Structure 1
Amino acid sequence: MTSSSEDPSTPLSEDDRETAVRRLQEAYADERISHEEMDERLDRVLTAKTHGDLAVALTSLPEEKPAATSAIGAAGGRIRRGGVWRVPRVLKVESAFGRVRLDLSRAVIEHPVVDIELRLGTGGARITVPRDAIVEVEGLHTGWKDVRYRTRRSSRPGGPTIRISGAMEFGRLKIRHARR
């Protein structure tokens, strides 16, 4: 949600607001803030327009830790994740008939290694990784088409390693590095 690399003047999304409300509820449940303080902060969160406004409402709360494993699934339709979002250590993506679009270029990646497990029937997948990421696809089995990925000639050290594994039946996986 709000990270030190985000511009405080950036407008909020509904996901940002929902995450902030959840953090306040957890802080109240853990008795870190009083009932009155929660009401006051909740009002700030609900009226916040930018990430800077939201940061004021969340001051002194512990940082939200991403789940170690997260799953996204759909029987049909599209699965999309993009923009600023926290990437878990292990991300499981399952889709029987739809397309998958994962954009990690602006995501908050807090782990040196991220495992993405794909289980796809028909439909393709496109994954955009950060410029400095190292991508490993040796654990992925494809039934119909090959993986389209061209490794970067040079990458800065210190980038995350994205390991993609699982199985794709009739779709194609396209992986590209972000341009900026």
Structure 2
Amino acid sequence: MENRLTDRLWDRDVQAFIAACRQERLSDITVSQKEADNGQSLLAVSATYRSGKGRIQPVGYRWVTSRSGLAGEVYVGKAKAPAGLELDGLFWLALRAGLWGERRHLAFALLALADLRSKADGVRGRLQLEYLGTLGGKASMAQAQELTLQTLNDLAYLYGTRTTPAA
């Protein structure tokens, strides 16, 4: 099993996920999962954004319940906006978060989060199938999902940056 999963590191989709983890302003990337009412599991991504002046803000891409069902949302601290905004909308979000001077860097970091979530979603399906096939009848779908989520978070930890406490 380890050889097949180690070989998976060289998969094109996994390499794209790893590259997305290396965004210069994002650190402490965490991938989580939310179950929708229809049984579908959706991925969310959270991270820490470090401004040029050293301010640290939590940022993320999450799923929230709206009138029309689940909708993607990006957030910076307490400021939030629907996912899929153009740059102007992300600039507005930077203003609400008190990071107007960082609006361009913050906008690209939020776009990188959405890209990271998308790439994680692409890798997730293949890893789950591989875990189910490898573990055979011993594994349930929940176990395969848990192992897959752990693998994604391990990759994000290994290839992303981490916030170090100020000395």
Please classify the TM superposition score into its range, dividing by the shorter chain length. Answer: under 0.3
What TM-score, normalized by structure 1, do the two folds share? 0.20
Between Structure 1 and Structure 2, the one with more helix by share is: 2
What TM-score, normalized by structure 2, do the two folds share? 0.21
Bigger Rg over Cα: 1
